[in-house]
């Protein structure tokens, strides 16, 4: 099984507080891995360590090894890392004053692409991959990112992340602010995206984890308690704490 992300003894701090206590995990390529666990257990911190976003918080630091496609991300320039590992957040955050087109093209422009045809093609490809093209193709430069509905804004953010051709996409509760129809669209999208890249998705929703992810990791108080095939986690977990969580005894 090819590994897209390999994490060894990853620890993370906020100031003096240790939020992750030595995480080891191998994320399989071209699959979706769900990260579940109660609020505050370190899910967001974990995924933010996978593209060096964690260290952008003042006083925050990480230790250990994270390899993406064989590259040690803590030994590489952060801009290269974030190009390889895209991220989508809970609350859609398009650049509000930019057009739809410019939102999607932003990352490429930042990386120095200015050729109009290259940009046009990347924008169309990314919007198609994000299942948004048909809805916006006639207003690409007329409408701003902020004029779209919440679900469309989230797909725009996915398109923006896809435009630079990442190997891994981190999604931190990407549908928790969306209505059920928009949520279903995002879940459908995850199936399509897996053909091309690897997904790590934080979700509060255990049904969502079982629908979209082949693998699931259960976090508790900064530890990865159990990591296995999703079906195993939800039907026959090995750890009592996982069982208590999935059966609703806490969290
Ligand atoms: N910016 C921050 N500064 C200080 N502590 C933080 C910060 N963000 C999160 N934490 C703490 O780190 C722990 C893990 O948080 P987080 O990764 O956000 O959990 P989750 O995403 O599972 O809800 C929690 O105890 C939380 O209070
Ligand atoms: Mg979180």
Q: How far is it, in rounded angstroms, from Cα 45 to Cα 55? A: 10
pLDDT (tens place) for every residue of the chain, 251 residues total: 799 999 999 999 999 999 999 999 999 999 999 999 999 999 999 999 999 999 999 999 999 999 999 899 999 999 899 999 999 999 999 999 999 999 999 999 998 999 999 999 999 999 999 999 999 999 999 999 999 999 999 999 999 999 999 999 999 999 999 999 999 999 999 999 999 999 999 998 999 999 999 999 999 999 999 999 999 999 999 999 999 999 987 76
Could you state, in order of their start, the residue ranges of all structural domains in the chain?
A: 3-95+168-246
Q: How far is it, in rounded angstroms, from Cα 233 to Cα 195? A: 24
Q: Which atom of ligand 1 is nearest to the CA of 222?
A: 14
Neighbours of 188 (CB within 10 A): 12
Separation of CA 204 and ligand 2 centre (Å): 9
Query: What are the DSSP calls for 24-82, one per residue?
Result: EEEEETTSEEEEE-STTSSHHHHHHHTTT-GGGSTTEEEEEEEEETTEEGGGS-HHHHH
> Domain 3-95+168-246 has what CATH class?
alpha beta
Is the C-beta atom of 41 inside 6 A of ligand 1?
yes
Confidence (pTM): 0.96
Ligand nearest to the CA of 89: 2
Q: Which atom of ligand 1 is nearest to the CA of 172?
A: 21
């Amino acid at each position: 099984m090819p590994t897209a992300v390999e994490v060894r003894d990853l620890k993370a701090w906020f100031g003096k507080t240790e939020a992750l206590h030595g995480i080891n995990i191998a994320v399989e390529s071209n699959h979706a891995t769900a990260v579940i666990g109660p609020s505050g257990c370190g899910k967001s911190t974990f995924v933010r360590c996978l593209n060096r976003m964690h260290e952008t918080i003042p006083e925050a630091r990480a230790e250990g090894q994270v390899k993406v496609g064989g590259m040690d991300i803590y030994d590489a320039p952060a801009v290269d890392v974030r190009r390889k590992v895209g991220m989508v957040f809970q609350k859609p955050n398009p650049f509000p004053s930019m057009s739809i087109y410019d939102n999607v093209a932003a990352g490429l422009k930042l990386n120095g692409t200015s050729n109009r045809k290259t940009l046009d093609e990347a924008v169309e490809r990314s919007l198609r991959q994000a299942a948004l093209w048909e809805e916006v193709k006639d207003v690409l430069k007329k409408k701003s990112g902020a004029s779209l509905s919440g679900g469309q804004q989230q797909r725009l953010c996915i398109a923006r992340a896809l435009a630079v051709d990442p190997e891994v996409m981190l999604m931190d509760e990407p549908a928790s602010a969306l209505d059920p129809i928009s949520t279903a669209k995002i879940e459908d999208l995850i199936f399509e995206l897996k053909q091309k890249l690897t997904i790590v998705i934080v979700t509060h929703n255990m049904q969502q984890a079982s629908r979209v992810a082949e693998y699931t990791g259960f976090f508790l108080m900064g530890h990865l308690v159990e990591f296995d095939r999703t079906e195993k986690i939800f039907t026959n977990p090995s750890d009592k704490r996982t069982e208590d969580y999935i059966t609703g005894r806490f969290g």
